[in-house]
Amino acid sequence: MLPIVVALMATVVLLVWMGFFMMGSLPLLVLAHDTPLDSRFIRGLFNVYYVAVMLTASAAALSYAWTGRPVFALGMAFIAVLAFALRRWIIIPRMDVLRETIPAVDASILRFRRLHIAGMVLNLAQLAAVAWALTRLGL
């Protein structure tokens, strides 16, 4: 009984992180993204989000594997790996490159905003996938 409780708690925490990030990053689109402070704050928010998702999705994947639910374990492992890839190779490194040129190059502001939106869209897709899996696949 304990493994399924841990898996469900990790899933709930993951959903909370995803929802918090979505609700917290949406109003930040109002920012002009034209100062180093704005871009540093948004990058920091993305970084914290990806670390939290990696940890909670990994815990959920291990717990689901322990309870003999391989579909859920693979799904959570995929979310953890995706968060790792986005943090390590895709979103965060690109934000770092753009942050250095933001005050000087106007195109960097637009690219940073697009990257911000892309990160939010990916989060929404993950959130929808987890919600769909929980409601349709059944534990």
Categorize the per-residue pLDDT at 139 as very low, low, confident or very high, splitting at 50, 70 and 90: low
Report, as an integer, the average pLDDT of 40-58. 95
Q: Range of 44's domain?
A: 2-136
- pLDDT tens per residue, range 54-95: 999 999 999 999 999 999 999 999 999 999 999 999 999 999
How far lies 41's CA from each of 38, 45, 51, in Å?
5, 6, 16
- pLDDT tens per residue, range 24-36: 998 888 887 777 7
Instruction: Say which residue the tokens 């965060």 belong to.
Output: 92
Q: Which of 5, 13, 21, 36 is nearest to 123 (CA)?
A: 21
Average predicted confidence (pLDDT) for the chain: 90
How many helices (H) and strands (E) the chain has is answered by 5, 0
Q: Measured between alpha carbons, how far is 139 from 70 in angstroms, rounded to an integer?
A: 11
- pLDDT for 11: 94
Q: Measured between alpha carbons, how far is 59 from 99 in angstroms, rounded to an integer?
A: 32
Give the pair of three-digit tokens for residue 11.
Answer: 């899933």
Number of domains in the chain: 1
Q: Which of 47, 137, 30, 34 is nearest to 92 (CA)?
A: 47
